[in-house]
Structure 1
Amino acid sequence: MANVPSHPFSPEALAERHGGSYRWWVLLTVMLGTMASIMASTIVNVAVPDMSHQFALGQERAQWLSAGFMAAMTISMLLTPWLLDRFGYRRTYAGAMVLLMLGGIGGGLGRNIDWVLAMRAAEGLAAGVLQPIPAILILHTFGRHEQGKAMGIFGFGVVLAPAIGPSIGGVLVEGFGWRSIFFVVVPFCVAALALGQRFLPHSSPGSATINESRRRLDWPGLVLLAVAVLCLLNGLVHLHDSAHGTAIALLAIATAGAAGFLVRQRRAEHPMMQLRLFGHHTFSWGGVVAFIYGMALFGSTYLVPVFMQIALALPPSQAGAVLLPAGFVLALTIPVAGRLADRYAFHRTLSAGVLLLAVSFWLMMTVGAATALLTITVWAIVGRIGLGLVLPSLNLGAVRALPMDLLPYGASGINFLRQLGGAVGVSLVGIVLEWRLRVHAGDPIRGFHETFFLLGLICMGAVLAAWRMQPRPQDPADANPPPA
Structure 2
Amino acid sequence: MSSAGHDPHSLQALQARHGERYRWLLLLSVMLGTMASVMSSTIINVAIPDLSHHFALGQSRAQWVTSGFMVASTVSMLTTPWLLTRYGYRRVYSLCMWALLLGGLGGGLANDYALVLLARVAEGLAAGVVQPIPAIIILRAFASGEQGRASGLFGTGVVLAPALGPSIGGVLVDAFGWRSIFFMVVPLAAVGLWLSRRFVPTTAPGGVAANAESAGLDWLGLALASASTLMLLNGLVQLRGEGGHGAGVLLTLAGLGALSFVLWQRRLLHLARHGGRPALMNLQVFAHRNFAMGSLVAFTYGTALFGSTYLYPVFMQMGLGLSPSYIGAALLPSGILLAVTINIVGRLADRYPASRLVMLGLALLALSFGLNFTVHPSQGLAWLWVWIIVGRIGLGFILPSLNLGAMKGVPHALIPQGSSIINFIRMVGGATGVSLCAIVLEWRLSMHGARLGEVAGEAALQAFNETFACLALLTGLAMVAAWRLGGPEHSKG
The CA deviation string for residues 149-176 of structure 1, in whole angstroms up to 9 with x for no partner, is 0110111111110111111111111111
How far residue 206 of structure 1 moved from its aligned partner, in angstroms, is: 2.1
1:42-441 alignment runs, 5 A limit? 42-268=42-268, 269-441=277-449
Of 462, 466, 481, which aligns to 2:478? 462
Q: Return 48-57 or 369-378, whichever deviates more.
A: 369-378
Moved over 3 A (4+): none
> 1:472 offset after TM fit, Å?
10
Q: Take 2:187 and 2:400, find their aligned partners in 1: how far apart are those partners?
A: 27
How far apart are 1:20 and its partner, in Å?
Answer: 2.2
Give the Å deviation of 1:226: 0.8
- For the residue of structure 2 that corresponds to 1:190, the secondary structure is helix
CA distance in 1, matches of 2:182, 2:420: 26
CA contact (8 A) 1:285 1:466 kept: yes
Which letter maps to 1:469? Answer: L
| Partner SS state of residue 365, structure 1 | helix
Aligned residues of 1:432 and 1:451 also touching (Cα < 8 A): yes
SS at match of 1:144: coil
CA distance in 2, matches of 1:303, 1:35: 24
What is the TM-score of this pair, normalised by structure 1?
A: 0.96
CA distance in 2, matches of 1:211, 1:315: 54
Amino acid at match of 1:458: L
| Matched-pair contact (CA < 8 Å) for 1:305–1:319 | yes
From 438, 445, 448, the counterpart of 2:461: 445
- Offset from partner CA, 1:360-387 (integer Å, 9 cap, x none): 0012121112232232111110000000
Taking the aligned partners of 1:321 and 1:109, their CA distance within structure 2 comes to: 29
Deviation of 1:12 (Å) = 2.0
Deviation at 1:5, TM superposition (A): 6.5
CA contact 2:375–2:381 (8 Å) conserved in 1:
no
| Cα offset, 1:318, TM superposition | 1.9
Give 1:37's aligned residue: 37
Q: What is the alpha-carbon distance in structure 2 between the residues aligned to residue 145 and residue 178 of structure 1? A: 45
Q: Check the 8 A contact 1:325/1:377 in 2, yes or no.
A: no
Per-residue deviation, residues 411-466 of structure 1 (Å, max 9, x unmatched): 00110000000011100000000010111125110000000000000001111110
Judge conservation of contact 1:239–1:431 (CA < 8 Å) in 2.
Answer: yes
Partner Cα distance (1:460, 1:8) in 2: 50
Rounded to whole Å, the distance in 2 between the matches of 1:391 and 1:131 is 14
Deviation digits for residues 277-306 of structure 1 (CA, Å, limit 9, x no counterpart) = 110010000000000000000000000111
CA drift of 1:118 comes to 1.4
- Any gaps of 5 or more consecutive residues in structure 1? 474-478
CA contact (8 A) 1:403 1:480 kept: no
Amino acid at match of 1:449: N
Structure 1, 138-147 or 410-419: larger mean CA deviation = 138-147
Cα distance in 1 for partners of 2:433, 2:65 equals 18
1:272 match: secondary structure: coil
Q: 1:471 offset after TM fit, Å? A: 4.7
Query: Which amino acid in the other structure matches residue 281 of structure 2?
Result: M
| Identical-residue share of aligned pairs (%) | 55
* Residues 1:480 and 1:206: Cα distance change in structure 2 (over 3 Å): farther
- 1:476 is matched with which residue? none
CA deviation digits over 1:221-255, x for unaligned, max 9? Answer: 01111110001100100001111111111111111
Is residue 11–residue 207 contact of structure 2 (8 Å, CA) maintained in 1?
A: no
| Whole-angstrom CA distance in 2 between matches of 1:95 and 1:36 | 14
Change (3 A) 1:161 1:472: closer
* Match of residue 7 from structure 1: 7
Higher mean C-alpha displacement, 33-42 vs 167-176:
167-176
Instruction: Supply the AA of the counterpart residue of 1:270.
Output: P
C-alpha separation between the residues in 1 aligned to 2:55 and 2:351?
53
Q: Counterpart amino acid of 1:81?
A: P
Displacement of 1:98 after TM fit?
A: 0.8
Q: Distance in 2 between matches of 1:191 and 1:290?
A: 30
Question: Post-superposition shift, 1:93?
Answer: 0.5
In structure 2, the gaps of 5 or more residues are: 269-276, 451-458
Instruction: Indicate the residue corresponding to 2:272 in structure 1.
Output: none
1:72-107 deviation digits (Å, cap 9, x = unpaired) = 111100000000010011111111111111111111
Deviation at 1:270, TM superposition (A): 1.0
Conserved in 2, the CA contact under 8 Å of 1:322 and 1:373?
no
Greater shift, 464-473 or 46-55, is seen at 464-473
Q: Deviations over 1:100-145 (max 9, x none)?
A: 1111111111111111111111111100000100000111221111
- The whole-number CA distance in structure 1 between the counterparts of 2:326 and 2:167 is 12
Aligned length, in residue pairs: 474
Cα distance in 1 for partners of 2:353, 2:57 equals 50
Tell me how far 1:401 sits from its aligned partner.
2.1
Instruction: State the AA in 2 paired with 1:435.
Output: W
Find the residue that maps to 1:208 and give its secondary structure. Answer: coil
Whole-angstrom distance in 1 between the partners of 2:465 and 2:318: 13
